[in-house]
Structure 1
Amino acid sequence: MILKVNIDICLNQLLAQEDTDQDKKITIEDKGPKTFNLASISGESYTVAGTYHLSNLLQELVIAKNNGLKIASLNTEVIEERPVERVSQMIKNYYWNGLTRTMDEKGIVSLIHDTKNESLASDKLRIYVPFNDLFAYHYYKGLEAKLPIETFKLPEAITPAFVKSINIQPGILSLKLDSAGDKTIGVPFVVPGGRFNEMYGWDSYFESIGLLIDGKVDLAKGMADNFQYEIEHYGKILNANRSYYLTRTQPPFYSSLIREVFEITQDKIWLKNHLKTAIKEYETVWMVQGNRLTENGLNRYLAEGIGFPPECEVGHFDSILKPYADEVDMSIRHFEKAYAEGQIINKELDAYFVHDRTVRESGHDTSYRIEKICADLNVVELNAMLYKYETDFEEVIKHEFNGLFEGYTPSYWEEKSKVRRNAVDKYLWNEEEGLYFDYNVKTKSQSLFIAATTLAPLWAKLCSEEQAERLIYKAIPMLKERGGIAGSTKRSRGEISENRPQRQWDYPNGWAPHQMMIWKGLFNYGYINEAQELIYRWLFMITKNAVDYNGTIPEKYDVVEATHKVFAEYGNVGTDFEYITQEGFGWMNASYQYGLSLLHNSYREKLNNLMPPEALF
């Protein structure tokens, strides 16, 4: 049935009746009658019943209003759409659009109003441009006459000292621009969502998995093209394209991204161009001895900045600074200022902030697994990712470039991967436990903290069949919760932090990238039933929360309680919206589409009926 309704009248009546807590959403926490008579302007009516269908009505009214309409033609079949189909189609047709950005004039206009700029001393957005990108420099200079922006050219050599010097005047970093006739357009990219209004490193890869599934190949290709721009101009794939991230990279997924894009486009010229850059990143970012490469042949994260991470809010480090401030009889704020300006030298704090920034480079910010020791760790997941780089290079050169690329042969990369695999077996694999652990290069010992990352070698095909079997049957029961895989075991978190604040990457929270890598890893080794269960648990949690909470799709979940109500540092991005979420959350959207693409059809009907996982497994 199609009903024509006056949007404002219907919206006001619906909210007055059903939004009893006045948060401009309709959720299970509202105390309305949960049934609404939807009346058309021609006198027809339709009864909408239940939280989920009422929230669908609210969303459809707001979508029509946002499109500039006063009268909406509402299809009751859309209001009654089944949960799985609705979540999936909203991601495909609505949320990706809400997350898409560019660094051209249109994109700059939206960045000017970004909340990260509200605390800046200047009322102008600072745009930093690479030394050699004169095209971008002149383009942004030309925009200064009509937009409140200032354009600055970065030095040819970007040092940690330079980055610290501009931390009091942070800005956005340019990404790739293209020319279309006489028009300049930004190569598009997808942001995580919420307060994250820039292109993030590893988020971009996982988002691209969802984009490719949804047929948005140009967007995924744009992500890879912007990765390439960052490597060529900033020396690395950045934590994100903000000036204070110039000394920080992110977990490496570039080789995976370009392979997956190429599988669809079959554009060998594009592949050749990107493969060259990926090898450059591998060699210059990861394989420089003494930097991110340690003496044992394995890798670590190592952010290269100086001092405080400037993206943190005032007071974030007060508990760390207080003992040092008390020691010299200063207030925390005075001590903080003196330390930041170099008036106080403190080697212990210097070391602390090396680890703190490195935690942020690892993407796992924060976790008790790596807190205060991150720069000393050969972490399992990083070495799995770099093993995949090596095997990706081997396979692509062998199958797409006739066994020779820029002087590299498949056997060269095969040897690299063998060396790494042997080192992983020696330092990270624990034969007695049947698990992979991070290795501390200073203490020469494994860290026995059990995290979801112990399963990362499955994703990279780094395990032997015997190791995979032991790992799966040991790790998954310890990490599996109602909503999927937790960031760590409860015991590991408790041993370190029983009476300390939760860290968001630890138990009881679960994250999309962990789930997606684990699913793929299980498929790699033929553990299909185990994968189906984990996929179902994760999709059930997302679907149930979307049904009960007005379509909410957040950054992370408490997988123990299977809820988006997470009580940890930084809150939960993606939950603060009115009427309708415009974006969901990037990698969460992708995990839903990826999970659905892998889930057996027999489970889809059960998911639509919100059958709890404990009734199935």
Structure 2
Amino acid sequence: MSLSPYTPPEELYWELFEAVQLSDIFPDSKTFVDCVPKRPAEEILKEFYEKVKQSDFDLEDFVHDNFELPPEPKPIKIPENLSLEERLHFQWDLLRREPDKEVTDSSLLPLPYPYVVPGGRFREIYYWDSYFTMLGLKVSGKVELIASMVDNFAHLINTVGHIPNGNRSYFLSRSQPPFFAKMVELLAEVSGDEDIMKKYFHEMLMEYVFWVEGEAEIQLPGKRHKRVIRLDEDALLNRYFDEEATPRAESFREDIELSETTRRYPEKVFRNLRAACESGWDFSSRWLYDPMELNSVQTVAIIPIDLNVLLSETERILIYVGKLIGEDKLVGRMEKKRRNRIEGMNRYCWDEERGIFLDYHIKFKERVDRPSLAMLYPLWAGTATAHQAGKVIQYVEKHFLKPGGLVTTNIHSGQQWDAPNGWAPLQWIGFEAFWNYGRRDLAMELANRWTRLNEQVFERTGKMMEKYNVEDLSLEAGGGEYPVQDGFGWTNGVYLALKERMKT
């Protein structure tokens, strides 16, 4: 449960919020919830109730009179005639934000240290994006910025009880793929200081507790609580979830309209949409009963292989640090949890016949026939056996390796986390997966294809994109609820990290 005193926009502005979000004032629903009020919300709402009854009331004028629109980032001067790699070292300054000042009734959760945002409409820090951004910051030698971002995430854990999707009040009900322990491990590595692992032990443990909340009360197979599912006596696995079952504030109109296209209870649709956002894969056929229909979203019924691999990594790191600080009882419990989790993933998510890892459906009690790049996570983390890795790599090389890199799935659903799109974080996961299990030739081929695509699109557009079309290199990526964004934090980070590895 969130410990935050921050109130999201839909609860601050009530009917005003609905009126704006259901209007056409802003093409992007995220714009209004990122606006900064010019005076206390209570005063704005009181005036709205008074003026809305008047015949000449203009909602758009009222909004512009009472709110400041999200500011555009200030341009920076970048020297000319640089390679893309050289240019991206400067680009961090464009995406860097200084410590926030608290503004009453703003949706922004103020962070005490500098940080990097993805870019475009994403004006705040994002949780899982930041790990892949840090990979590039490492190459750029910006260790202090990595440290300040880790400190910001620790601050969020200590103030709101977990790391939200991003530092916005409307994101408080959900998190994102849990990379915090991996960030701490990365910071310790680049700093050459193992004591850093001890420094953040409390916060890593707190975040882990957020993900496994309620596990002790779930004694019978089939029972679930929030993000935890008991499948059998030993297998406690995790799913994505959201504390709320309402339309997302930042996609309010889109969610309302989608809910009107289905006979399901709207609350079920809303929670499943939100849970898909927690996955970071919003949206993908992975989460859909009918891969072509977003209104069939069923995220909370699915045990994702990637989430459970990430939690096994958190457990591994907690075991390591627990040994350093002499927490023997905790180490023993965590070793058993990690062993059971890996065995559970193998039991429920490994398809021996096809030789791939798949997500598992809680209600249907079967693996979900939606092969995706999530199958590479056990190889990235090193939890796959050599037999499993060989099978997975063979399958991915045959079905997922495209001219521009790895495609996310092979389903053309119109959703952005499906074909024909490739995403930077999954290229890195794939690169490391191939590298870890002896296919360094394939890792280098992937790195070459992806970085070349980044360079070609940059030459055409002058931008680094959020996602790329890896199937047809002459076309831009598409799908999703908003236009393709440029910036772009994790693309820059993975590009720099891959270019660095290609030199070895």
Question: Under a length normalisation based on structure 1, what TM-score does the superposition of the two structures give?
Answer: 0.63
1:217-252 per-residue CA deviation (whole Å, 9 max, x = no partner) reads 111111111111111111111101111111011000
1:511 to 2:423 alignment: yes
Mapped partners of 1:393, 1:66: distance in 2: 41
Deviation, 1:279, is 1.3
What is the aligned partner in structure 1 of residue 201 from structure 2? 275
Report the equivalent of 2:136: 210
Match of 1:431 among 352, 375, 382: 352
The 1:564/1:416 distance shift into structure 2, 3 A limit, reads farther
Question: For the structure 1 residues 547 and 472, does the alpha-carbon distance in structure 2 shift closer, same or farther, using more than 3 Å as the test?
Answer: same
Summarize deviations over 1:24-50 as a string: whole Å, max 9, x none.
Answer: xxxxxxxxxxxxxxxxxxxxxxxxxxx
Say yes or no: does 1:92 pair with 2:27.
Answer: no
CA contact (8 A) 1:190 1:586 kept: yes
1:102 is matched by which residue type in structure 2?
E
Q: Which amino acid aligns with 2:203?
A: T
Tell me the equivalent position of 1:350.
267
1:599 matched residue in structure 2:
502
2:251 aligned with 1:312: yes
**Offset of residue 213 of structure 1:** 1.6
Per the alignment, residue 276 of structure 2 pairs with 359
Equivalence map 1:42-81=2 (5 Å)? 79=81, 81=82
**How far apart, CA to CA, are the structure 1 residues paired with 2:392 and 2:321?**
29
What secondary structure does 1:172 align onto? coil
2:172 equivalent to 1:246: yes
- How far off its partner does 1:540 sit? 0.8
State which of 132, 140, 146 in structure 2 corresponds to 1:220: 146
Deviation at 1:397, TM superposition (A): 3.7
Selected match of 1:294 from 218, 226, 229? 229
Per the TM alignment, residue 304 of structure 1 is displaced from its structure 2 partner at its CA by: 0.8
Task: Report if aligned partners of 2:127, 2:166 keep a CA contact under 8 Å in 1.
Answer: yes
For the aligned residue pairs, the C-alpha RMSD in angstroms reads 2.2
In structure 1, the gaps of 5 or more residues are 1-64, 106-139, 141-148, 152-169, 178-186, 325-346, 576-583, 602-617
For these two proteins, the number of residue pairs brought into alignment is 409
**8 Å contact from structure 1 (residues 235, 285) kept in 2:** no
Match for residue 377 of structure 1? 302
Query: Which runs of structure 2 are paired with 1:423-462 in the superposition (5 Å)?
Result: 423-462=344-383
* 2:100 corresponding residue in structure 1: 104
Structure 1 residue identity aligned to 2:97: R
Deviations 1:80-105 (CA, angstroms, capped at 9, x unpaired)? x5xxxx11111112x10111113334
Query: 2:104 aligned to 128, 137, 150, which one?
Result: 150
Is the 1:557–1:563 Cα contact (8 Å) retained in structure 2?
A: no
The answer to whether the Cα contact below 8 Å between 1:556 and 1:564 also exists between their aligned partners in 2 is no
Q: Would you say 1:172 and 2:108 are equivalent positions?
A: yes
Deviation string 1:447-474 (CA, Å, 9 cap, x unpaired) is: 0101111111111111011110111111
User: Is the CA contact (8 Å cut-off) linking 1:256 and 1:389 kept in structure 2?
Assistant: yes
Q: CA deviation at 1:386?
A: 0.8
Q: Secondary structure at the match of 1:312?
A: helix
Partners in 2 of 1:263 and 1:567 — Cα distance?
A: 37
In the other structure, the counterpart of 2:460 is 548
Return the offset for 1:414. Answer: 2.7
Question: What's the counterpart of residue 478 of structure 2?
Answer: 567
Looking at CA atoms only, which structure, 1 or 2, has the larger radius of gyration?
1
Q: CA distance change for structure 1 residues 414 and 66 in 2, over 3 Å: closer, same or farther?
A: closer
| Alignment match, 1:368 | 285
1:161 match = none
SS in 2 for 1:432: coil
Q: Structure 1 residue aligned with 2:316, among 391, 398, 403?
A: 391
Residue 474 of structure 1 is aligned with which of 395, 402, 405?
395
Q: Secondary structure at the match of 1:150?
A: coil
Q: What is the CA–CA distance in structure 1 between the aligned matches of 2:185 and 2:143, rounded to whole Å?
A: 13
* Residue matched to 2:72: none
TM-score, reference length from structure 2: 0.77
Aligned to 2:211: 285
